[in-house]
Structure 1
Amino acid sequence: MALKKRRPKTAAVALAATVAAVSLGTTLPSAAAGYTASAGPWSTAVALTGADGQQTLIDVQLAGDGTAFALWRDKAARATGWDFQTAVRPAGSATWSAPHTLATGRDKNSAAVLAVSADGRAVVTWLDGSGADGSLVALAAGWNPATAAWSAPATLAAWDGLDMSAPRLAAAADGTFTAVWDQGDGYRNYDVRTATLAPGDRAWSAPRTLGSTATGSIWSLDLAVAPGGAATAVWDELNRFTDEHTVSTATRASAQATASDAARAPGRSRARGGGRSRTGSAPAPLAAPGRPAHPCPGRSRPARPRPVRPSAALSISCSQTRRLPARGS
């Protein structure tokens, strides 16, 4: 990247003006002068977890009303598995709740996703089950500010195939949550699916398909939702026979509207060998030796490897657009 070079004369004039302003006591802009007061001092650090065991942070989110949510993995001392735990700090309070366990029996790389709404609601989703026996399920638990409690985990979506991604979540201002995920056979047949949770509902809507591919897999997937409920899902399809990537998108006008059919975004990119994807993210690390895994992070483990063409076998590297760690149940 070429560096911009400031002209010496211009730099000297700018420096002289700055020195003169300081020397003469020129008043700083009100925004800068009031920064410390408007930002406020930071509180003293406090521990959300105990001193024993191990913890790894997953996410922290701040709802529109000021309620804060923290989500992490916890492995108690001498325990063999990890738990998903969360804590909540109510709006206007400086005190966090005691940790609440959402799920047990996870591993240290299990993925969970947190999303919050403007009115102080929150949803956490994660995967359970296995592709080996067709028991994959995305579970979700919700925080209700009226009762100041988490709901019991409920099914967001189930899949009897080999592979399923942890859903991405986003919320509209009215508290409607939208989820998108992909599911497939672990080789070349995949669907991008979506479901919504309306304010006050306990059950997610029936899933619907946004797009499909029969020549590869979903390389990465993301979701954005506007305050009014308009939504855009974008995903990157990897063609296992040509090693080409195609970016597709589907949109929704409001939380009550039906999503559009998928449309391809302009342009294509290639990723060969351990090369980088269109997003420029570095290739993801492979799973631990001896454990068959989907090549992308956060994927469920297929029961057995599927045959692929040599060119496709060389292109197994994954974008971090999801920003999710590897899954586990």
Structure 2
Amino acid sequence: MQIGVGYAYELHAAAAGDGTVTVAWQTGLSGPETLRVSTRAAGSADWSAPEAIATGGANPSELDVQATADGATLVSWWGLSYRRGFVHRPAGSATWGRTEYVPSDETFNSTVVPRLESDGRVTAFWEFESGNLKTATRAVDGTWSQARTLVEKSRAFAFWNPDTAQDGSLAIMWTTLDGDLWSLVRSNGVWHKPVHVGQVEFHTEGSVAAGTDGRAVAVWDKELGMTSDYYRINQVWTTATGAARPATPAKRRDYVGDDGFPDLYARGTNGSLVVYQGNAAGKVSVTADGGTWPQTSTLIPFGDLDGDGANDTLTTNAA
């Protein structure tokens, strides 16, 4: 079935949980009304007449359409005004709201796509020339939360578009000039510490999918070379981050004293295991004998393996 007439560019669509489908595209025209949207209601075969969306005088690009299970819809785009605009349609409504823009107090912000959450809120991300990736959330009534800084520019080169899970978890990833790939997730309304995912080429582009409890899966391609005709030869790589929070409460690491405070252990030069007893001030004082390990043992600090916020240690025995 034909929806509109003329040329259509950057066609994007999203389906709500009840089967309602919304389509957005750029027409062959130019000017402030080049963006069109049309909707097919659940159980219907008919599309609404294409509706022009005001884009602030700029031809839209990098269109994105999102819909929630209950029918709330978000259409966003990148315009020549160097601001990312969007329109929001609440669940149960057939009317689009006015054109709004991702918060900004400078003349430039990045094209990171805002995310429509399951409750109808919109979480936006923007990158300032001054160097930070910031975020704020728009409530259903249109009010914005206070902006907060998530990532310092000195630690990032390029950000991948974020994703939202059904339980409200949100994941965003970025690369650094050194080729490091990092992930940051929000679960239960709390932003957690960044997680180092692995090494990639700094200009690598990829996608991230958010799962429940802060889990995320990332997919990106790796260039293996070029053909004689200068076509890229790519291989797809994938990795998954662990949960942003442990499934069980974190252990206190209280090895001695039974006082509820975490303790620190180390290996002596003679192979002995020494435990430094922690106290309420966050310091260590009294030492305790932790037994003896073979002198052929090597303790390797390995970071936080189980996501409980405490560093773990890997021990190898040369014997």
TM class by shorter-chain length? Answer: 0.5 to 0.7
State, as a whole percentage, how many aligned pairs show the same letter: 23
Match of 1:168 in 2: 113
Q: Deviations over 1:12-54 (max 9, x none)?
A: xxxxxxxxxxxxxxxxxxxxxxxxxxxxxxxxxx11111x4x2
**CA drift at 1:68:** 0.3
1:68 aligns with 2:21: yes
Contact 2:110-2:128 within 8 A present in 1 as well: no
AA aligned opposite 1:66: G
Counterpart of 2:54 (choices 103, 112, 115) is: 103
Mapped partners of 1:98, 1:110: distance in 2: 22
Question: When the two structures are superposed, what TM-score results if normalisation uses the length of structure 2?
Answer: 0.57
Gaps of 5+ in 1: 1-45, 131-135, 283-329
Q: 1:145-224 to 2 correspondence within 5 Å?
A: 145-161=91-107, 163-181=108-126, 183-185=127-129, 190-198=131-139, 200-214=140-154, 218-224=157-163
Contact 1:251-1:259 within 8 A present in 2 as well: yes
Contact 2:76-2:85 within 8 A present in 1 as well: yes
Mapped partners of 1:175, 1:80: distance in 2: 30
Residues 1:80 and 1:145: Cα distance change in structure 2 (over 3 Å): closer
Mapped partners of 1:90, 1:62: distance in 2: 10
Match of 1:55 in 2: 8
Greater displacement, 206-215 / 65-74 = 206-215
1:260 aligns with 2:192: yes
Q: Size of the alignment, in residue pairs? A: 209
Q: Deviations over 1:178-212 (max 9, x none)?
A: 3334x232xxx5322222233x3223333322111
Q: 1:69-84 to 2 correspondence within 5 Å?
A: 69-76=22-29, 83-84=34-35
Higher RCO (Cα < 8 Å, 6 or more apart): 1
1:117 aligns with 2:68: yes
Mapped partners of 2:169, 2:122: distance in 1: 12
AA aligned opposite 1:227: Q
CA RMSD of aligned residues (A): 2.8
Residues 1:129 and 1:270: Cα distance change in structure 2 (over 3 Å): closer
**CA drift at 1:156:** 2.6
Q: Deviations over 1:162-188 (max 9, x none)?
A: x4222323334333333334x232xxx
Counterpart of 1:269 (choices 200, 217, 224) is: 200
AA aligned opposite 1:267: G
More helix by share: 1
Mapped partners of 1:126, 1:260: distance in 2: 28
1:141 aligns with 2:87: yes
Contact 1:125-1:166 within 8 A present in 2 as well: no
Stretches of 4+ moved more than 4 A in 1? Answer: 79-82, 275-278
More strand by share: 2
Residues 1:63 and 1:281: Cα distance change in structure 2 (over 3 Å): farther
1:92 aligns with 2:37: no
Match of 1:225 in 2: 164
Contact 2:115-2:123 within 8 A present in 1 as well: yes
Match of 2:272 in 1: none
Mapped partners of 2:222, 2:124: distance in 1: 24
Mapped partners of 2:10, 2:65: distance in 1: 12
Gaps of 5+ in 2: 207-219, 224-319
Structure with max Cα Rg: 2
Q: Deviations over 1:112-150 (max 9, x none)?
A: 2221111101111234464xxxxx433221113433110
Match of 2:313 in 1: none
Residues 1:48 and 1:91: Cα distance change in structure 2 (over 3 Å): same
